[in-house]
């Protein structure tokens, strides 16, 4: 395996132009300048090929430019590109019907469509406030829910996301996420750490900070994404649902990263058999065309009166046909593939961990997989330099991957990835780990 001299000359030239006209606020993880992609492979402008193990952060669920998605977009583009959410059109309705049919709850559902994850979170917050007439929300430390001024109040994965933006939306209380690998609360005997967190919410937040009948909702990622691909213990969601039911608090499930089949089920929360009240979706929904939205229980969504929320592009026809085709492909093939290749990869990562002591834990479901690097397995001390070097070496060896949390590496490839390509990616990952071990020894 050869370390390539990247970025090449063409990439360098484009990066130099980029630096002149695009604000540095847009942070980049690697000097990858894309030319084109196919399935789970991408090429840069200098002709270098990469295995794509991140899929534009869990977005290109059907792989790059899937022919069926491209065809659906082309056919729709011939008819019309936009009409505005003030009128009706059929593909929007069809998509809404499709989304309500896969909602993770028994009750009938209704949807609101937007253009991004943050917008889907904003919609969830607004409908929850409107419906409950309550003012407060509970969110989790290390959560990521987006960067708009409402969603930002909930995002707590890195303080630099918030620097200089105060005041953000008031009334948001953060509690620890149930990270059993690095717990910060003390469990009672026999209690699962997820139950401990829920007990903390009830005793410390609802008991001391804010009366439960003033809390509109609890917003939670079923598996924390940006915060480190943290999977909650099995007791967490059932206990959280019980708490929400006890106090009439809405359970808002942010599936923007974990949803749309990525974990081998339509929604990650289904792994715990718990039904949320509102689901936020975006990233994987339309294979890369910007789209987001919420799917909520009908008795909540139907109380939202005309004009209470809205946008210009909601249900955009191009995004809608892309989403419909994406959903078909996920249902027919890729959700199953995500479960199979995901289980296969997790096993391979467990073996990898046996060979490399700086891997503290591997975790995840389906094709949402995290490798948590530590200085020392005993103390579980974070090792961000190690992770960063692995990402960098992997890039030079021919694979795109990305960090999350303090020292976790995330794998979130297209759901269509084959075992062969995954094997290639895993070989690159191991070589990147070896080179990093050598450097940091
Ligand atoms: C990415 C993400 C968001 C924000 O989505 P944008 O499209 O970037 O606004 C919200 N929630 C979760 C869980 C995410 O991963």
**Span 334-351, mean pLDDT?**
98
Q: Contact 113/315 with Cβ under 8 angstroms?
A: yes
How high is the pLDDT of residue 389?
98
Q: Is the CB of 222 under 6 A from ligand 1?
A: no
pLDDT digits (tens, 9 = 90+) for 87-141: 999 999 999 999 999 999 999 999 999 999 999 999 999 999 999 999 999 999 9
How high is the pLDDT of residue 100?
98
Q: Which atom of ligand 1 is nearest to the CA of 147?
A: 9
Q: Is the CB of 257 under 6 A from ligand 1?
A: yes
Q: Is the CB of 348 under 6 A from ligand 1?
A: no
**Span 343-348, mean pLDDT?**
98
Q: Which atom of ligand 1 is nearest to the CA of 226?
A: 15
How high is the pLDDT of residue 251?
99
pLDDT digits (tens, 9 = 90+) for 24-51: 999 999 999 999 999 999 999 999 999 9
How high is the pLDDT of residue 331?
98
N-terminal to C-terminal alpha carbon distance within the chain: 21
Give the model's confidence band at 169: pLDDT under 50 very low, under 70 low, under 90 confident, else very high: very high
> Cα-flanking dihedrals φ and ψ of residue 112, to 5°?
-130, 130
How high is the pLDDT of residue 419?
98
Give the model's confidence band at 65: pLDDT under 50 very low, under 70 low, under 90 confident, else very high: very high
Q: How far is the CA of 117 from the centre of ligand 1 (A)?
A: 4
CATH architecture group of domain 84-315: 3-Layer(aba) Sandwich (3.40)
What token pair was written down for 26?
A: 């847009």
Q: How far is the CA of 441 from the centre of ligand 1 (A)?
A: 36
pTM of the model: 0.98
pLDDT digits (tens, 9 = 90+) for 209-264: 999 999 999 999 999 999 999 999 999 999 999 999 999 999 999 999 999 999 99
pLDDT digits (tens, 9 = 90+) for 373-401: 999 999 999 999 999 999 999 999 999 99
How high is the pLDDT of residue 33?
98
CATH architecture group of domain 9-65+333-440: Alpha-Beta Complex (3.90)
Q: Where are the domains of the chain?
A: 9-65+333-440, 84-315
How high is the pLDDT of residue 224?
98
pLDDT digits (tens, 9 = 90+) for 259-315: 999 999 999 999 999 999 999 999 999 999 999 999 999 999 999 999 999 999 999
Mean pLDDT of the chain: 98
Q: Is the CB of 225 under 6 A from ligand 1?
A: yes
């Amino acid at each position: 395996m050869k370390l390539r001299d990247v970025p090449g000359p063409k990439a360098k030239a484009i990066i130099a132009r980029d630096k002149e006209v695009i604000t540095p606020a847009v942070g980049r993880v690697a000097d990858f300048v894309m030319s084109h992609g196919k399935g789970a492979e991408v090429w840069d402008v200098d002709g270098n090929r990469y295995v794509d193990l991140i899929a534009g952060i869990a977005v290109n669920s059907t792989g790059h430019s899937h022919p069926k998605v491209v065809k659906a977009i082309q056919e729709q583009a011939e008819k019309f590109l936009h009409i505005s959410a003030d009128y009706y059109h059929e593909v929007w309705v069809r998509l809404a019907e499709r989304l309500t049919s896969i909602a993770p709850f028994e009750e009938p559902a209704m949807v609101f469509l937007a253009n991004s994850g943050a917008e889907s979170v904003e919609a969830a917050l607004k409908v929850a406030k409107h419906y409950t007439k309550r003012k407060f929300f509970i969110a989790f430390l290390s959560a990521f829910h987006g960067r708009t001024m409402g969603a930002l109040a909930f995002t707590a994965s890195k303080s630099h996301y918030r620097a200089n933006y105060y005041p953000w939306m008031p009334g948001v209380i953060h509690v620890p996420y149930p990270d059993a690998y690095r717990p910060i609360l003390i469990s009672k005997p026999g209690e699962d750490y997820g139950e401990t967190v829920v007990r903390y919410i009830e005793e410390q937040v609802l008991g001391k900070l804010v009366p439960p009948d003033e809390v509109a909702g609890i917003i939670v990622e079923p598996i924390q994404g940006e915060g480190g691909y943290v999977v909650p213990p099995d007791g967490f969601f059932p206990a959280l649902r019980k708490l929400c039911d006890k106090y009439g608090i809405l359970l808002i499930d942010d599936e923007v990263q974990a949803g749309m089949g990525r974990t081998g089920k339509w929604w990650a929360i289904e792994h715990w058999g718990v039904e949320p009240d509102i689901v936020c979706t975006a990233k994987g929904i339309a294979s890369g065309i910007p789209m987001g939205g919420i799917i909520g229980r009908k008795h909540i969504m139907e109380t939202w009166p005309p004009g209470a929320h809205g946008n210009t592009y909601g249900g955009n026809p191009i995004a809608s046909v892309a989403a419909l085709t994406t959903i078909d492909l996920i249902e027919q093939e890729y959700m199953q593939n995500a479960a199979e290749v995901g289980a296969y990869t997790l096993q391979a990562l467990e073996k990898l961990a046996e060979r490399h002591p700086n891997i503290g834990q591997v975790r995840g479901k389906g094709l949402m997989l995290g490798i948590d690097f530590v200085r020392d397995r005993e103390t579980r001390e974070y090792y961000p330099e190690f992770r960063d070097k692995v990402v960098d070496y992997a890039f030079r060896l021919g694979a795109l991957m990305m960090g999350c949390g303090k020292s976790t590496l995330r794998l979130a490839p297209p759901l269509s990835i084959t075992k062969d390509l995954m094997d290639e990616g895993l070989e690159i990952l191991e070589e990147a780990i070896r080179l990093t071990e050598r450097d940091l020894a």
